[in-house]
A and B are shown apart, each in its own frame.
Chain A
Amino acid sequence: MHIVVLVKQVPDWDIPPSSFKVDEAAKKVVPPQGVAPVTSQFDAIAAEAAMRIKDADATTKVTIMSMGAATARDVIKQGLAMGADEGVLLTDAAFDDLDSYGAATVLSTAVKKLGDVDLVLTGRQAVDWDSGVTPTLIAGMLGAPVITFGKRVAVAGGTVTVERVLPDSLETVEASLPAVVSVSNELGEPRYPKLPQIMAAGKKQVTTWAAGDLGLDAGTLGQKLTLEALYVPVVDTKVEIMAGDTPEEQAMALAKRLQDAKLI
């Protein structure tokens, strides 16, 4: 059983909205000073899903794969510290600013190059673009079925069984391996590596592949979706804070304002 977990390095999402800045001319986010990029939240949860499968069957091999800048090695190391076996870093100037289709082309080509992959796990969406398109495209390119928004992922006898999170129900879906599964936050928190695991991760192998290693070049990774503009929306609401010396006075002021506005 060989699982590949796809992880993306993104700007830290857990910053105050006031420190979020965009370079509108470059159509790029300006990373906040002194805040290191992190693993996209749902991707760390995908790594957790893989480790739970490995907990149940120690013969499972887990590979952490990331496409991005050279610094994406850090998010691979995090997955290795969680207990994954190997890492693959896909880095090349030709991979910069790809749309979902281009990114899926690179990632699926790399998964094919590994050759013996049974299950690809990803987060439900990357927390930068919030699209949730790439997992399905990768499945399409691999000719494999996809199951999205998993909160529990189990494999047995060549079948993957996934509990899918839907707003008003939980559905259980099965597919034959190989398959692609994206996971949601309801799966649970990713495990926190201990120091010896972090030390051991430093000794694990990370293979680096560039476009040429995958038989790809910038010309074959054309954009289907173009980015025309990126900006920070202006919020012009002005809040009216209720005056009052006691909670009772504040509460009564609010109740009266809401009644005047015919809201209660």
Chain B
Amino acid sequence: MANGVLILAELMDGKIAAVTQELVGAAQRLGAGPVSAMLLGSGVEGAASGVTGVEKTYVVDDAALAEYTTDGFTNAAAAVVALADPAIILLGQTNAGRDLGPALSFKLGTAVAMDTTSLEMKDGKLHTTRPAYGGNARAVNGFTSTPAIATVRPKSQDAAEGGSAGVVEKVAFDASGIRTKVVARNVAASEGVRLEDADTVVTGGRGLGGPEGFADIEALAKELGGAVGASRAVADLGWRPVGEQVGLTGKVVSPTLYIAVAVSGASQHMAGCSGSKNIVAINKDPDANIFKASRFGIVGDYKTVLPAFLAAVKKVRAEG
């Protein structure tokens, strides 16, 4: 009889990623039985103790999992599921999760709800809520098959704190079924604060008119110790690297302060920043959608407002 919740633990720079404890927190709050974790990769066993608040952590540690491949991770996860027999499986909506969720659902003959932002049990069954139609709507889904699988948007859930590490159980899997091969990887060089971790994000939109408009954005981000973000239009136009894109198909950020400059606030952009604690908008169009989600705003041209704002920030900070 399927029971409990199994979450996918992930590593970031060799340590358990923040999203993992968020998944543990979400799983605990469901109250749907024991919570266990699975950690898949090569040379990952030592990190398993970093997952806390779970009864058990299943580890598939195999050289064939050194690089993420759809088949490798799907087969490894399926081997864990066969042992753990969970009623619910939660993954982060991460690089791995957004690819693995659908593949695992097919392998297990069940369904997956992607990019969910809230989860609850109703009459003993999982119900998930997720943004749809570019963030314009919310869809609530139920499942007719077990296990129910959901990917969960990073930073949408409060992380589990405390608790002890689970008992580690090693699981073997058959690595012969991997049909894709990673032949190259180019890691984008990033400077300064990581966008997803930044407490302040300053984002520029198409309204800046060109890549040169980002000089002021960079200066403001530097002054505030924050990171630079870009709208999808800006990334698609090649003004800024893809890694800076905030939105449905880019990064999801939830800083304390999100300053959106010349960003119209299309729903797909808001999907990436609506978790921010305070949104500030600078836009010359008073009807821009971004103002609807903002706490503070300036209606004006960034060309004059931004240099003035940078000077004002320096002044008030100098005066304490």
Give the residue of B110, B295, B309 whose beta carbon is less than 8 angstroms from that of A255: B309
Q: Which B residues between 295 and 320 are near A, CB-CB below 8 angstroms? A: 295-301, 304-305, 308-309, 311-313, 315-317
Which residue of chain B has the shortest Cβ distance to A261 in the bound complex? B278
**B residues within 8 A CB of A232?**
136-138
Most buried by A among B236, B281, B316: B316
Most buried by B among A135, A226, A256: A226
Q: A29-B137, A259-B317 are in contact. Are A133 and B102 (CB under 8 A)?
A: yes
Q: Are B257 and A258 in contact (CB under 8 A)?
A: yes
The segment from B2-10, B57-65, B179-187 that touches chain A is: B179-187
- What's the interface size class on B, roughly? 35 or more
Q: Are A20 and B305 in contact (CB under 8 A)?
A: no
Report how far A149 CA is from B249 CA in the complex, Å: 10
**B residues within 8 A CB of A90?**
none
Q: Which B residues between 223 and 258 are near A, CB-CB below 8 angstroms? A: 224, 232, 235-236, 242-243, 248-251, 256-257
Contact mask B186-199 → A, CB, 8 Å, 1/0?
11101000000000
Which residue of chain A has the shortest Cβ distance to B94 in the bound complex? A167
Q: Are B103 and A172 in contact (CB under 8 A)?
A: no
**B residues within 8 A CB of A128?**
132-133
Give the residue of A13, A170, A225, A255 whose beta carbon is less than 8 angstroms from that of B111: A225
Report how far A124 CA is from B114 CA in the complex, Å: 13
Interface Cβ pair total, 8 Å cutoff = 239
Report how far A201 CA is from B200 CA in the complex, Å: 50
Q: How far is the CB of A23 from chain B (nearest CB, A)?
A: 11
Q: Are B183 and A174 in contact (CB under 8 A)?
A: yes
Q: How far is the CB of A238 from chain B (nearest CB, A)?
A: 8
The segment from B30-38, B41-49, B142-150 that touches chain A is: B142-150
Report how far A222 CA is from B136 CA in the complex, Å: 27
Q: Are A264 and B317 in contact (CB under 8 A)?
A: yes
Contact mask A199-227 → B, CB, 8 Å, 1/0?
00000000000000000000000111111
**Interface residues on chain A, number (Cβ under 8 Å):** 79
Which residue of chain B has the shortest Cβ distance to A185 in the bound complex? B236
Q: A186-B242, A225-B113, A225-B141 are in contact. Are A169 and B132 (CB under 8 A)?
A: no
Report how far A173 CA is from B180 CA in the complex, Å: 7
Report how far A196 CA is from B300 CA in the complex, Å: 45
Q: Are B280 and A132 in contact (CB under 8 A)?
A: no
Contact mask B117-156 → A, CB, 8 Å, 1/0?
0000000000100011110111111111100000000000
Q: How far is the CB of A179 from chain B (nearest CB, A)?
A: 8
Judge whether A166 is part of the interface by a CB distance below 8 angstroms: yes
Q: A140-B107, A228-B127 are in contact. Are A242 and B298 (CB under 8 A)?
A: yes
**A residues within 8 A CB of B309?**
251, 254-255
Q: Which A residues between 133 and 163 are near B, CB-CB below 8 angstroms? A: 133, 135-137, 140-141, 145-149, 161
Q: A101-B111, A226-B144, A228-B142 are in contact. Are A175 and B181 (CB under 8 A)?
A: yes
Judge whether B28 is part of the interface by a CB distance below 8 angstroms: no
Q: Are B133 and A20 in contact (CB under 8 A)?
A: yes
**A residues within 8 A CB of B292?**
17, 235, 237, 239
Q: A145-B71, A173-B180, A257-B296 are in contact. Are A130 and B133 (CB under 8 A)?
A: yes
Judge whether A241 is part of the interface by a CB distance below 8 angstroms: yes
Report how far A169 CA is from B251 CA in the complex, Å: 13
Report how far A22 CA is from B235 CA in the complex, Å: 31
**A residues within 8 A CB of B182?**
171-173
Q: Are A222 and B300 in contact (CB under 8 A)?
A: no
Majority SS at the chain B contact face: mixed
Judge whether B157 is part of the interface by a CB distance below 8 angstroms: no
Which residue of chain B has the shortest Cβ distance to A170 in the bound complex? B186
Q: Are A167 and B243 in contact (CB under 8 A)?
A: yes
Report how far A165 CA is from B250 CA in the complex, Å: 10
Q: Are B297 and A240 in contact (CB under 8 A)?
A: yes
Judge whether B166 is part of the interface by a CB distance below 8 angstroms: no
Report how far A8 CA is from B207 CA in the complex, Å: 30
Give the residue of A136, A250, A264 whose beta carbon is less than 8 angstroms from that of B305: A250
Q: A124-B249, A172-B183, A228-B141 are in contact. Are A240 and B134 (CB under 8 A)?
A: no
Q: How far is the CB of A248 from chain B (nearest CB, A)?
A: 5
Which residue of chain A has the shortest Cβ distance to B286 in the bound complex? A241
Q: Which A residues between 25 and 54 are near B, CB-CB below 8 angstroms? A: 29
Q: Are B257 and A171 in contact (CB under 8 A)?
A: no
Judge whether B112 is part of the interface by a CB distance below 8 angstroms: yes
Q: How far is the CB of A82 from chain B (nearest CB, A)?
A: 19
Q: Are A231 and B138 in contact (CB under 8 A)?
A: yes
**B residues within 8 A CB of A246?**
308
A-B pairs with the 4 shortest C-beta distances?
A: A224-B111, A251-B308, A136-B102, A255-B312
Query: Could you give 7 example pairs across A and B, Cβ below 8 Å?
Result: A17-B266, A127-B133, A130-B133, A137-B106, A231-B138, A250-B298, A257-B296
Contacts A256-B316, A263-B257 known; 5 new A-B pairs at CB < 8 A: A13-B133, A20-B136, A171-B185, A232-B136, A232-B137
